[in-house]
Amino acid sequence: MNSLRKPCGDSKVDNRFRHRYNTPMDNMPKADMPSGALVLLILRVLRSGALHGYAIAQKIHLLSSEVLHVEEGSLYPALQKILLKGWVTAEWGISETNRKVRFYRLTPAGRKQLEAGLSEYDRVNEAIQSVLRTA
């Protein structure tokens, strides 16, 4: 039965979809951040002062040399999560563009969580580097 099948390249269906697999690397979607990384980045960015959501995303993007791009669909749920945990507070204010926005500020509990998160990140990163060096 397998001898009757045409090679994949001869199929009209395969040719229609071939462009999806020959996309240049610079057009490929970027990899997602590791689990927990976004919360750590938000807390770290807020350590220098209160910011609204869009400014947080922009600062992460700029500080990462434009490698990391934080989508609204990820940012605002993460902000809500850390708000509920008490790691940040939020208050309404006016942005530089005269829009009503929520400004997020790191709390003492957030500072403590940031330090714990950085410590855990360093531990895991060192373990990964160890495997990469020795495997």
Residue 15 covered by a domain: no
Q: What angle do CA 62, 117, 130 make, to 5 degrees?
A: 90
Residue 17 covered by a domain: no
Residue 67 covered by a domain: yes
Residue 20 covered by a domain: no
Residue 111 covered by a domain: yes
Residue 19 covered by a domain: no
pLDDT for 94-110, tens place per residue? 999 999 999 999 999 99
Residue 65 covered by a domain: yes
* Partner residues linked to 52 by β-bridges: 103
Mean predicted confidence (pLDDT) in 104-123: 96
Q: Record the pTM.
A: 0.74
Q: What angle do CA 90, 95, 97 make, to 5 degrees?
A: 160
Residue 22 covered by a domain: no
- Print the SS3 string covering 34-63: CCCHHHHHHHHHHCCCCEEHHHHHHHHHHH
**CATH number assigned to the domain comprising residue 100:** 1.10.10.10
Of residues 50, 37, 34, the one with CA closest to residue 117: 37
Q: Quote the domain boundaries for residue 60.
A: 30-134
What is the model's pLDDT at position 135? 82
Number of H helices and E strands in the chain, helices first, is 5, 3
Give the pair of three-digit tokens for residue 54: 């869009």
**Residue 21 pLDDT greater than 60, yes or no:** no
Domain count, the chain: 1
